[in-house]
Structure 1
């Protein structure tokens, strides 16, 4: 077993880019050294877009949304009769939380999905480094950038920096935290609650420097806004509430207050469910932050990255002879739990007519509103990746209010989302019943957007067979069974670095 683990770690580490031979990849990229690059406002804007592109690169390099945020609780099965069916069995390997087997090499999915890249955090630290340098250069002064503009640009950089830390915490647990522009000393991993608390404090200083929204519709959801920062603050607070339970009330209260501020702004709105295609195409009034993608702009998604790719077949994927069934499907039992009847319009608009098919006839249309590049295209090139959406933050605020026993307001917010879905209003009681219903509502509303597994983890529902097909024991949970392994490249030139012991010890 020890030899197997060593081999796995070597394989995982081999995916690291050459640049990660330096601690946290702090060696600056040429154009980001500062003095030669930041000569104008245009340079600053170009760097902001570059940071977004680099962050999206981590999502686009594999089937990231599904692998990290959706499959690990076991609700999804692969269709063995689908084209290249064995390569899709990874959804069930993830559903068993068998990440050692997933990454061990020699598997049918190896040539498609590159899952070992999820274990490499280098890309996130490249984004953090860029943000740190940009903030320092803006503090020094950039020609043509006013004080007001500098504050706005710093807020955007702080947002993408904190978003990087948030994603890493949810993947790896404890991470090294730094905000110095040219960090050169090796750092140990820091407790994840502390990392997020520092990120929260950091973002609070910048929150009011950004506009609620942009007059240019091309920037909605694409460039960070005040709503983007509030959404991230809410999510970081709710994550900490699950792990810093002694201070949970503080985090719930902050989340509730931020959610109220977001709603009172009237800067965002829930579009009618019949206009869902507008939402999923991106840049809508519902988007808080997204990675906008459009074939009209020549955007190229990795063929395996879009979540919806796994749940479509002909005529939404072509050619017919290789796409008669979907690659994967949600268990019929689970779909019955989410949609016990057909009154919810999401069950009609987001899915094919047989949402309980329990086989490859199942089809999710939630992400299928976009056009193909050609008549025989089998991918979905126009797929925008939603990170934060107004409906999700309304429900997160409702969850925090329910945790604070403010049930009436929680129900009011819950019913905003259900009303948009043309579903019946929640008319049950408060307490645990309400909390459970809000959890299910988030599972319905945000399916496929990368939140479900993390909701299970932070609420500890992952410990219960009522909520998960893949139950973690409390012992495994406390030892980090919910995390991902960390590439051995993280230890190069850093004597303080440690890996996630649960996975180093064989994942058991």
Structure 2
């Protein structure tokens, strides 16, 4: 079979069953080309690459990382004299948690297309594809050794579980299935149960995949043992926030996984130098646990809006100069001063930002501006990867879990790994609540703009506390899941068992 024929086979296999069909209803195997397709390692590799690509399609629909993970707590404002000011004010609407207005097609920000976030079909296409691949791997594919089979099973299971994790944070309860050809319509399942099933699904595969790859092109961009550990840690920490009766068990697993990751010496923190940080943000570094690698060198097609840094960079970090004299948006000074207080040493404050307290478009998140190659009038953002899990993130989850287990000295040791890299004043304060809060703020500092802040607020319930969120939810809103996104009505088109998110139906 030629390469072109294989690619055609993939398209038939992946998409023939989705047109005008409910996502849980697929054609029988004998009507697809699956038996003809899964014949070699090349077929498996192509199929896995397509799954990553399908998932990235959702990140590339607009300013997604910023819209779902950063701005909904109210600290971001549009720059009054910036380019397309009236449209950029969607960040303030998101900051008030007014998602229905943010999705309103009659508003000047309709080109952000936030209504697309509510459609989960693409995610289920990724899951369906992973389910079929896992089934075919278990049946047996010619030319695969047992080691290769285990590695691919681990990678496909990672992709499936990662997709469920992502959807849970967006929608709360979701439909869960692992059958390759699911025909029965299923209701949404409680999110804690979904995460526990994913934990059980993924754990057995952790040791069947390498810590890293000899091919540097795969580092971070493909699932690895470090990426699996990071996902296991995140799923445990999410459940610890909602399944309070079992939180001790979740924290213990995160602590053990974090220790395993750190002691592996498979990953490292790069120095905060221009060269070191540019390497991290470029992608495929020893600090990356999982990312969606994108590069101008490969002519990757990113939507102009999609990188987080797009809204917080100005010339000379973003081109063209004539309409990027100031950043589109800024973080309010009270929040930034809380992150990086004056008089406390922290290289990130000066290295990652300029005009940090300006409350204007002079605010610049230089953290995302070290890989600038465009010039003249090219409309391009810096050439950065889409970072999902970074080593520093896992270290801070480790510190958080240890603090929750009252293992304060160990928690402080992990916390100070991050502060030492930042040339920041080491933490020497008390344990208990003070340490837990400090670790939370350290995650905000270190992971600024990487899509973790809002989800950290939700899972720790700090989203209800004005000390941590400028526009907090009240307890009724939190319990009715105002932190979720609406689910598009199309989810019910062929599945009457789907119940949409009640909070958004009553707006």
TM-score exceeds 0.5: yes
Match for residue 205 of structure 1? 204
Q: Which residue of 2 aligns with 1:43?
A: 43
- Structure 1 residue matching 2:345: 3-state secondary structure: coil
The equivalent of 2:85 in structure 1 is 85
What is the alpha-carbon distance in structure 2 between the residues aligned to residue 345 and residue 401 of structure 1?
26
Partner of 2:468: 467
Which secondary structure state, in structure 1, belongs to the residue aligned with residue 167 of structure 2?
Answer: helix
**Deviation at 1:24?**
2.0
**1:18, distance to aligned residue in structure 2 (A):** 11
1:268-292 deviations in Å (ceiling 9; x for gaps): 0111111111100000000000011
| Cα distance in 1 for residues equivalent to 2:348 and 2:442 | 11
Q: What corresponds to 1:10 in structure 2?
A: none
Hey, what does 2:235 align to over in structure 1?
Answer: 236
Aligned residue number for residue 347 of structure 2: 345
Question: Do structure 1's residue 184 and structure 2's residue 186 form an aligned pair?
Answer: no
Q: Is the 8 A contact 1:301 1:381 kept in 2?
A: no
After superposition, the C-alpha distances for 1:2-30 in whole angstroms (9 at most, x for unaligned) are: xxxxxxxxxxxxxxx99464222543699
CA distance in 2, matches of 1:119, 1:246: 31
Aligned to 1:290, what secondary structure does the other structure show?
Answer: strand
Question: Could you tell me how far apart the structure 2 residues matched to 1:32 and 1:423 are?
Answer: 57
Displacement of 1:347 in angstroms is: 1.2
The 1:29–1:343 alpha-carbon spacing in structure 2 relative to 1, beyond 3 Å, is: farther
Question: 1:504, 1:467 → 2: CA distance?
Answer: 28
Q: Is the 2:77–2:330 contact (alpha carbons within 8 Å) kept by the matching residues of 1?
A: yes
How far apart, CA to CA, are the structure 1 residues paired with 2:74 and 2:116? 22
For residue 487 of structure 2, what is the aligned residue in structure 1?
A: 486
- 1:110 corresponds in structure 2 to 110
Counterpart CA distance in 1 for 2:89 and 2:138 is: 50
Q: Is the 8 A contact 1:300 1:381 kept in 2?
A: no
Instruction: Give the Cα–Cα distance (whole angstroms) in 2 for the partners of residues 130 and 60 of structure 1.
Output: 20
- Per the normalisation by structure 2, the TM-score is 0.94
Aligned-pair CA distance for 1:355: 1.1
* Cross-structure match for 2:57: 57
Residue 266 (structure 2) aligns with: 267
Cα shift at 1:438: 0.3
* 2:7 equivalent in structure 1: none
Query: Alignment RMSD, CA only?
Result: 1.6
Rounded to whole Å, the distance in 2 between the matches of 1:190 and 1:75 is 33
Question: Is residue 194 from structure 1 mapped to residue 193 from structure 2 by the alignment?
Answer: yes
Deviation at 1:375, TM superposition (A): 2.4
Secondary structure at 2:23's aligned position in 1? helix
Does 1:251 find its partner at 2:250?
yes
1:329 equivalent in structure 2: 330
Q: Which residue matches 1:13?
A: none
Q: Counterparts in 2 of 1:50-449, with a 5 A limit?
A: 50-111=50-111, 113-274=112-273, 275-341=276-342, 343-352=345-354, 354-380=355-381, 382-449=383-450
User: Which stretch shifts more, 415-424 or 375-384?
Assistant: 375-384
> CA 1:213–1:26 in structure 2 vs 1: closer, same or farther (change >3 Å)?
farther
C-alpha displacement of 1:378: 3.0
Distance in 1, matches of 2:156 and 2:375, equals 37
Change (3 A) 1:170 1:28: farther
Could you state the TM-score of these two structures normalised by the residue count of structure 1? 0.94
Consecutive unaligned residues in structure 2, runs of 5 or more: 1-15
Distance 1:123 1:189 in 2: 17
Q: Secondary structure at the match of 1:273?
A: coil
Between stretches 337-346 and 39-48, larger displacement belongs to 337-346
Q: Measured at CA, do residues 28 and 281 of structure 1 come closer, stay the same or move farther in structure 2, by a change above 3 Å?
A: farther
Matches of 1:20 and 1:392 in 2, distance apart? 39
Kept in 1, the 8 Å contact 2:255–2:402? The answer is yes
**Distance of 2:324 and 2:304 partners within structure 1:** 15
Provide closer, same or farther for how the CA distance between residues 29 and 223 of structure 1 changes in structure 2, counting only shifts above 3 A: farther
Preserved contact between residue 221 and residue 293 of structure 2 (Cα < 8 Å): yes
The CA deviation string for residues 220-260 of structure 1, in whole angstroms up to 9 with x for no partner, is 10110011100000000000000000111111111111101
SS of the residue corresponding to residue 318 of structure 2 reads coil
Query: How far apart, in 2, do the equivalents of 1:370 and 1:383 lie?
Result: 7
Kept after mapping to 1: 8 A contact 2:319/2:374:
no
| Contact 2:314–2:324, Cα closer than 8 Å, also in 1 | yes
Distance 1:32 1:278, change over 3 A: farther
Q: Secondary structure at the match of 2:290?
A: strand
2:24, 2:184 within 8 Å by CA — same for their partners in 1? Answer: no
Partner of 1:405, secondary structure, is: coil
Q: 1:321 to 1:490 in 2, by over 3 A?
A: same
Gap runs ≥5 in structure 1: 1-16
Structure with the larger RCO, 1 or 2 (CA within 8 Å, 6+ apart): 1
The size of the alignment, in residue pairs, is 488
Query: Structure 2: how far apart are the matches of 1:172 and 1:317?
Result: 33
